[in-house]
């Protein structure tokens, strides 16, 4: 067995679940027989950024001026570059999914609660 194949199997064995899924699915073979994972890296970065932006929007975002919002998302993107490197071997994407689901459930319950108090007030 080739050492680069053994190395890639070792790396894939240590990767977190969604990262491995992205890299196995989006790796493209090159002309010299090796795999190119450039697209997979960009997709992983996009997934981390989109999930981070969703979690930020659901849990922490406030009404700000447009320039301040742009600055926040630029710094969020820079932080996601670091998170992407951690996402190879740590369950960063999985954690962001769980955080987003918890915040979505929280928001839905608050909206239901708000609608429930509105109906009680109008009947009195």
Q: What is the pLDDT of residue 63?
A: 87
Q: Which of 56, 55, 47, 54 is nearest to 18 (CA)?
A: 47
Let me know: does 23 contact 37? Beta carbons within 8 Å.
Answer: yes
For 29, the 3-state DSSP assignment is strand
Q: What is the pLDDT of residue 119?
A: 62
Q: pLDDT tens digits, residue range 35-94?
A: 788 888 899 999 999 999 999 999 887 888 999 999 999 999 999 999 999 988 889 999
**17/12: higher pLDDT:** 17
Give strand pairing partners of 110.
none
Q: What is the pLDDT of residue 120?
A: 60
> 88: which DSSP letter?
T
Q: What is the pLDDT of residue 13?
A: 75
Q: Could you tell me how far CA 99 lies from the centroid of its own chain?
A: 10
Q: Residue ranges of the domains in the chain?
A: 3-123
Q: Is the pTM of this model over 0.85?
A: no
Question: What are the counts of helices (DSSP H) followed by strands (DSSP E) for the chain?
Answer: 5, 2
């Amino acid at each position: 067995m080739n050492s680069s194949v053994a190395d890639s199997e070792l790396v894939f064995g240590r990767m977190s679940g969604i990262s491995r899924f992205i890299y196995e699915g989006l790796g493209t073979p090159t002309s010299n027989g090796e795999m190119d994972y450039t697209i997979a890296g960009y997709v992983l970065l996009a997934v981390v950024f989109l999930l981070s932006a969703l979690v930020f929007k659901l849990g922490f975002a406030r009404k700000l001026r447009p320039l301040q919002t742009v600055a926040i998302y630029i710094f969020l993107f820079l932080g996601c570059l670091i998170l992407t490197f951690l996402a190879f071997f740590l369950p960063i994407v999985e954690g962001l999914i769980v955080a987003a689901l918890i915040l979505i459930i929280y928001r839905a319950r608050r909206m239901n609660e708000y609608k429930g108090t509105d109906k009680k007030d109008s009947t009195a």
